[in-house]
């Protein structure tokens, strides 16, 4: 008996590239633009526009300025780089995408998509659960005005930093004209209650969660079942020391019959399906230090 051919949208891979740091923008994005030709690997870049306060995470974790000074002396290397680990503490916080509007527009000119990820990424990630609607609205408005200043048009979508939502955030987000959201790590797309908007989640694990380059097999195993998937990518990481691992995933996906599509196309494709309507939940995913929205 002949096997039925798979439907044309059976194997689609979205690349959601988050840019969280100045270094990711300045160094990771140009490398990814070289590595991802838009005709075969059109990606959707979610940019952070405001201050890079990455160092506050380290500072919060260590609570010790002396440890930070020791890191400076030893020039400790790391995935995110030494300077990044100090931004917003003993080094001033540089602006991320807002400081590089030409590069923002180049992403789009090269055939990729640019969407809105953050004003102050760390502030959302570290303090959102304590913030009220007004703070969230101001954070969004500053970021959106920066986005429009750089790009000359509004974004289609928002991807919440650290895949973190609160009920207050959902209430505020419902007042903005997003075409879709990409704010969670849910296993499949849904309509986010209270917003009426489609949530296109990053359903695959990111490389950091599967042990780095040796974990590419876990991602390809998840792809082997077919369907529509979104891979979360970080410009700092897959546009940095793990870029060969990303290339390996893309080769593997191609050999499994996947076509890479931008997230707006995936959202349009899913728009014709009868997606469940539900609120977001919270889960601690394997390989992650903090819970995220699902
Ligand atoms: Zn991020």
164-204 pLDDT per residue, tens: 999 999 999 999 999 999 999 999 999 999 999 999 999 99
**Residue 199 pLDDT:** 98
Q: What residues flank ion ligand 1 with Cβ within 5 A?
A: 18, 20, 161
**Residue 60 pLDDT:** 62
**Residue 59 pLDDT:** 62
pLDDT tens for each residue of 52-83: 988 777 666 666 566 566 556 554 456 567 77
Cα separation, 24 vs 79, in Å, equals: 10
Specify the 3-state DSSP secondary structure of 291: coil
Q: Which two tokens stand for residue 209?
A: 């969660």
**Residue 85 pLDDT:** 76
Residue 8 Cα to ligand 1 midpoint, Å, equals: 31
Cα separation, 189 vs 201, in Å, equals: 6
Cα separation, 218 vs 234, in Å, equals: 18
Residue 3 Cα to ligand 1 midpoint, Å, equals: 42
**Residue 1 pLDDT:** 46
Identify the DSSP state of 119. S
Sites in the chain below the pLDDT cut of 50:
1, 6, 75-76
Residue 6 Cα to ligand 1 midpoint, Å, equals: 34
Domain boundaries, the chain: 11-52+95-278, 54-92
**Residue 84 pLDDT:** 79
Residue 129 Cα to ligand 1 midpoint, Å, equals: 17
Residue 43 Cα to ligand 1 midpoint, Å, equals: 15
**Residue 294 pLDDT:** 98
Paired sense of beta strands 277-278 and 190-192, if any: parallel
Burial class (CB in 10 A: 0-12, 13-18, 19+), 179: middle
**Residue 96 pLDDT:** 97
**Residue 77 pLDDT:** 53
Specify the 3-state DSSP secondary structure of 142: helix
**Which overall architecture, per CATH, does domain 11-52+95-278 show?**
Alpha-Beta Barrel (3.20)
Residue 117 Cα to ligand 1 midpoint, Å, equals: 7
Contact 253, 225 (CB under 8 A): no
**Residue 97 pLDDT:** 97
């Amino acid at each position: 008996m002949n096997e039925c051919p798979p439907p044309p949208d059976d194997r689609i891979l979205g690349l959601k590239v988050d840019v969280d740091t100045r270094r990711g923008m300045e160094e990771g994005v140009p490398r990814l633009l070289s590595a991802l030709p838009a005709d075969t690997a059109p990606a959707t870049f979610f940019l952070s526009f405001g201050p890079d306060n990455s160092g506050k995470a380290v500072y919060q974790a260590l609570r010790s300025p002396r440890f930070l000074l020791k890191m400076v002396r030893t020039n400790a290397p790391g995935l995110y780089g030494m300077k990044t680990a100090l931004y917003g503490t003993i080094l001033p916080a540089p602006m991320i995408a807002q400081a590089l509007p030409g590069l923002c527009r180049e992403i789009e000119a090269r055939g990729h998509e640019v969407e809105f990820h953050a004003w102050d990424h760390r502030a959302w990630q570290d303090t959102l659960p304590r913030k009220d609607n007004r703070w969230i609205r101001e954070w969004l408005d500053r970021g959106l005005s920066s986005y429009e200043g750089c790009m000359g048009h509004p974004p289609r979508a928002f991807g919440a930093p650290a895949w973190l939502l609160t009920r207050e955030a959902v209430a505020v987000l419902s007042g903005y004209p997003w075409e879709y959201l990409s704010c969670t790590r849910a296993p499949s797309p849904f309509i986010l209650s209270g917003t009426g908007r489609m949530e296109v989640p990053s359903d695959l694990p990111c490389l950091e969660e599967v042990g780095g380059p040796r974990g590419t097999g876990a991602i390809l195993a998840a792809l082997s079942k077919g369907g529509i998937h979104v891979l979360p990518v970080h410009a700092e990481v897959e546009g940095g020391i793990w870029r060969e691992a990303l290339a390996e995933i893309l080769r593997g996906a191609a050999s499994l019959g996947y076509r890479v599509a931008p997230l707006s196309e995936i959202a349009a494709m899913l728009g014709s399906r009868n997606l469940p309507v539900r609120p977001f939940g919270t889960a601690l995913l394997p390989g992650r230090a903090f819970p995220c929205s699902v």
